[in-house]
Every structure is written in structure tokens, then in C-alpha cells.
Amino acid sequence: MAKPLFHTLSPEELILEDGLPCPTSAYLASLSPSGARTQATALNNLAYMFSDGKTSDAKKFPWHNLRYEHSNSLPAHMLDIGYAQASVNKHLVALRRVLAEAYRLELFIDHNDYYRAVSVRSLRHESIPRGRKLEQSELEALVRVCLDQKNNPPLATRDATIISVLYATGMRRQELVALNLADFDVREAKLRVIGKGSKQREVFISEDVIAAIEAWLSYRGKQLGPLFTRISKGGKVSLKRLSPQAVYLILQNRQKQAGLAAFSPHDIRRTTITDMLSADVDVLTVSAIAGHASADTTRRYDKRGDESKRAAAQKLQSPFKGT
């Protein structure tokens, strides 16, 4: 069977005129730092493919010269060279967004060229949900190993509070490190969270979580600035903001200390969403708490399916009795 024909730009079409605005920069500027890094990689990949290997710099690629035959032939080409369907769809999102910026910057001479090029659809696929759900005993073990660290009380309290806040709110680690002291409203028992696309939401917290935050603030102090900050090995608290990578390393370290199976920071978010749904909180409320734009996204985090299917399997009596 012949390989699908993939359309690339000609050498003449790759020439980028001087002085034109950059749609790549405009698109990446609208994203969070981590999102910008991810999508910059995707756009560089696309530039490499559409230029037939002549450039991998998305900022120097003439996106406005792409037409329907280019974008429409991309999914089949990416599958053919080994990309997974989910990865193809992520690249298509980046492509549509950068084309939209090129259109807004009036780089397309004929607006019909833009509408046709951007009309490429994502591939339909069903993937097995990633990650796992943490048990309540595992969450308690994580907090316990933090508080058992008697040689550095500020560090112990901070890490225990981070774990408590992550689980209580289901927030992303990027959202956690972006919290400021001013985002903590003790009177209303809530945190103001800045999520993807700079969208703000308010998440209510229980008295136990408030107590954990106040215990941490007894070491941090009440100065304005980041809510969760760095601590030296000697226990000195600074007002320097933690990074998302620091949160990852904190959780990894505490997981090993507690002797638990590996998990990702996002698995705590999955656990929160699953536990809320298990507690019969309606999916729209859970979606609002998690900061999802769609309830369908929230449902993909639900790990109850594995548990219920496993329980159903145990209820069936096998005809095989052994020998």
C-alpha cells in the first residue's frame, strides 16, 4: 500500500518576509510557562515536517503559507511516521492555534485560505486513562512522614500542608505554586486559584486544611508574597516562590520515605476528583472545583471505573476449578 501523500512547502514558500509579526510568539505568550514549552516543541516539530526538514524553528516558519492540503495531510503523515493518536491531536491543537494567530495578525491574504487550513479535525480515539488513585491510607502516610521530621519543623509543616491543600482542592501543582498569601481567605474558608488561561476560580476548604495552612504560616510569617516558599536545610524560611518542579521533588521524596508505590503529582488531582464523585458530588460541581472547561474532561479523571470493573470480575464464578 502506498504511503499517504504529505504536502510540504516549497523552498520559495518557506521564504519569510522581513518585518512580519510572529504568530508563534503571539500564541506562546498566551500560555503558562510550562504550556509554552510544550507547545513550542510541538510547533518546532510541525515546522520541521512542513518544511521537509529545512527548519525546526517555528518562529521563522511562514504559517500563513499553509493551505488545506498541508494541514489535511498532516494527521495521516504523523501516524505513518510513528506518532500516537493523542500526540497527533496535541500537535493539531498547536497548529490550529498558531494559524488563528496568523489570521488575527492579518497575515493571510485570503481569509478562505485560513478557514480551510484550520478546518482539519482531530483524530477520534479512546485511550486508557493514565495514572492511579491514591488510597486514604497512602495520603495519611505521606502527611505522617512529613510531620515525623523533627529536625526541620518548618519543612515538615510546609510539606504536610502542600499535600493537604493539593488533595483538598484538586489543584494542579502549577496552580499551587502560583498561590499568594493574599489568595488565602480564612474568613470565607477559601483559596483563590489562577488556572489555565489565567482563569480565576475560588475553591472552598475545610477547617482542617485551614488549620494546616495557619500552622505553616506560623513559620512563614504574614508578609505578602508567595504562599508556599523555599526553606533551607537548616530550617530558614525565605519568601522565594517554589517551582512546579520543586513540588514534584517534594512529593517524590515523601513517597519514598513513606514506602509507597510511585505516583505523579497529577495522581493526587485524580484522587480528589474520584473521591468527590464517589461521595456523590455532582460532576458539574467537581468540574468547577477542578477548573475544567468541560465536564467530559472531569469524567476522564474518574478512576472508579477500574474499581467497579474489578469488583464485578470477582462476582463471576469461574468455570475453571483447577486440578
Catalytic residues: 172, 196, 266, 269, 292, 301
Residue 277 grid coordinates: 464523585
Neighbours of 164 (CB within 10 A): 23
Largest CA distance in the chain: 80
β-sheet bridge partners, residue 190:
185, 204
Cα Rg of the chain, angstroms: 24
Strands 229-231 and 237-241: antiparallel
- Pairwise CA distance, residues 185 & 183, whole Å: 6
| Residue whose cell numbers read 518576509 | 17
β-sheet bridge partners, residue 184:
191
Q: How many helices (H) and strands (E) does the chain have?
A: 14, 5
- Pairwise CA distance, residues 147 & 254, whole Å: 11
- Pairwise CA distance, residues 96 & 11, whole Å: 23
β-sheet bridge partners, residue 191:
184, 203
Burial of 112 (0-12, 13-18, 19+ CB in 10 A): exposed
Closest CA to 98 of 133, 70, 134: 70
Angle (nearest 5°) at CA 116 between 110 and 118: 105
What torsion, rounded to 10 degrees, do the Cα atoms 176, 180, 181, 187 define? -70
